[in-house]
Amino acid sequence: MSFDKTTVARISRLARIATTPAEQERLAGELGGILAWVEQLDEVDVAGVAPMTSVVEMNLKAREDVVSDGGDAEAILKNAPSSAHGFFVVPKVVE
């Protein structure tokens, strides 16, 4: 399958990464190469095989449904590039 600039533009929008036309050109080649290489997986017979969902055999533990942390807005905002009155500040989204 060919991997073109339009596809790169579409996925970079989905990934929220701005790309220039020149970068899209380069990435189309690189990503196309990687995807062509992974297509060898089609050789593997996976009929009836369950996809791996748990890396080692263990059951997820249940815990008490109680609040164990939180209520520390100051700590959460400490690294924010912009904050005010206990909130993160972002560019205006509602006119």
Partner 1 sequence: MNPTDLTIAQARDLLAKGELSSMELVEAHIDAMETSRELNAYITETPEMALAMAQDSDARRARGEGNGLLEGIPVAIKDLFCTKGTLTTAGSHILDGFHPVYESTVTANMWRQGAVMLGKTNLDEFAMGSSNLTSYHGPAINPWKARGDHRARVPGGSSGGSAAAVAGRLALGATGTDTGGSIRQPAAFTGTVGIKPTYGRCSRWGIVAFASSLDQAGPMTRSVRDAAIMLRAMAGHDGKDSTSADVAVPDFEADLDKGVKGMTIGIPKEYRSEAMAGEIEALWQQGSAWLEEQGARMVEISLPHTKYALPAYYIVAPAEASSNLSRYDGVKYGLRVEADDLLSMYEKTRAAGFSKEVKRRILIGTYVLSAGYYDAYYLKAQKVRTRIAEDFRDAFGHVDAILTPATPSAAFPADEPPSDPVAMYLNDIFTVPVNLAGLPGMSVPAGLSGEGLPLGLQIIGKAFDEATVLRVGRAIEHAAGFDTRPEGF
Residues binding partner 1 (CB under 8 A): 7-8, 11-19, 27, 30-31, 33-35, 37-44, 46, 49-53, 55-58, 60-61, 63, 75-76, 78-82, 88, 90-93
Euclidean distance between CA atoms 57 and 22, whole angstroms: 46
**In whole angstroms, how close is the CB of 55 to partner 1 at the nearest point?**
4
The residue (of 67 and 90) whose beta carbon lies closer to partner 1 is: 90
Euclidean distance between CA atoms 68 and 74, whole angstroms: 17
**In whole angstroms, how close is the CB of 52 to partner 1 at the nearest point?**
4
Euclidean distance between CA atoms 75 and 78, whole angstroms: 5
3-state secondary structure of 21: helix
**In whole angstroms, how close is the CB of 85 to partner 1 at the nearest point?**
16
Q: Is residue 3 a contact partner of residue 30, using CB atoms and an 8 Å limit?
A: no
